Structure 1
Amino acid sequence: MILFVIIHSLIFRLAKVVFLYLQMKFRSIFFCFTPENHENLATFVNKLTCTQ
């Protein structure tokens, strides 16, 4: 049980780091898109972050 909690917290931390890294990567990619596409992607990302 304790092992499960440790693994769960490690995975959660790793996911957070990966998410922040991807966010930095995608931010530079977003500037390549047209404004309306950028809006759609921004709302999509917001929906994803709200569900967590």
Structure 2
Amino acid sequence: PMSIVDYVVVHELVHLKEKNHTQKFWEIMGTVLADYEKRKEWLKVNGNYFEI
């Protein structure tokens, strides 16, 4: 789903500002994607169905 693609792209872009998954990292994620936790959970449940 495009919403998950958006999550992954934003996640990687936030790493340009905050290298680790600190509280600040997740605060930035929340300012860009208010529902990032829902998307993160979807990826946790469904991510193993994807191959690179």
Using CA pairs under 8 Å that are at least 6 residues apart, name the structure with larger relative contact order, 1 or 2.
2
TM-score (ref. length: structure 2)? 0.41
Which structure's CA Rg is the greater one?
1
TM-score (ref. length: structure 1)? 0.41
